[in-house]
Amino acid sequence: MGPRIRVAALLRWHDRILLIRHAKGTSERWLLPGGGVNLGESLLDALHRELAEEVGLGEPGDELPVEGPVAIVDSISPSRWPPKHVVHIVFAADLTGTPLDRVASQDDAVSGHRLFAPHELDGVPLHPPIQRFLRRWRPGDPVAYLGALWAR
């Protein structure tokens, strides 16, 4: 079995980034909104489907204009058997001007949303751990390959 492909969106609202919270038992982690790509589904179709499910944005006819991909992340877990390997393809969109009271999830795995300023990301259990990239990324930057990051 090969790597799983996951699309995600770096959603900016003014100078902040929208993250979603996943809670399992007593642990929680924060993620860029997104999810797995189905067989035969384009990356952008998967992204719009996942954004509609996880944040209630990007419904057909209401699709967010996205840029990118802006980053590619290899996430490989050496401590699992079989190993888990996920390739994250990150796009970006500007939500400035979008009323965030529309943000709502239809996904049971999502237990909350929050806007983070880039300097607030230190110490946040973010998966994959791309805090440094999020702090320095600016619109128009070339695609960044973030190397092989270990999954948590």
Stretch 137-149: mean pLDDT = 84
Question: Residue 123: its pLDDT value, please?
Answer: 87
Question: Residue 5: its pLDDT value, please?
Answer: 96
Residues 14-53: tens digit of each pLDDT: 889 999 888 877 888 899 999 999 999 999 999 999 998 8
Which residues, 6 or more positions from 101, have their beta carbon under 8 angstroms from its beta carbon? none
57: buried, middle or exposed (CB in 10 Å: 19+, 13-18, 0-12)?
Answer: buried
d(CA 12, CA 106) in angstroms, rounded, equals 21
Q: Which residues of 63-84 are buried (b: 16+ CB within 10 A; e: fewer)?
A: bbebebbbbebbbeeeeeeeee
- Residue 146: strand, helix, or coil: strand
4-150: CATH, from 2.40.160.40, 3.30.1490.20, 3.30.1600.10, 3.90.79.10? 3.90.79.10
pTM of the full predicted structure?
A: 0.87
Residues 89-128: tens digit of each pLDDT: 999 999 887 776 666 666 667 778 888 998 899 889 998 8
Domain ranges in the chain? 4-150
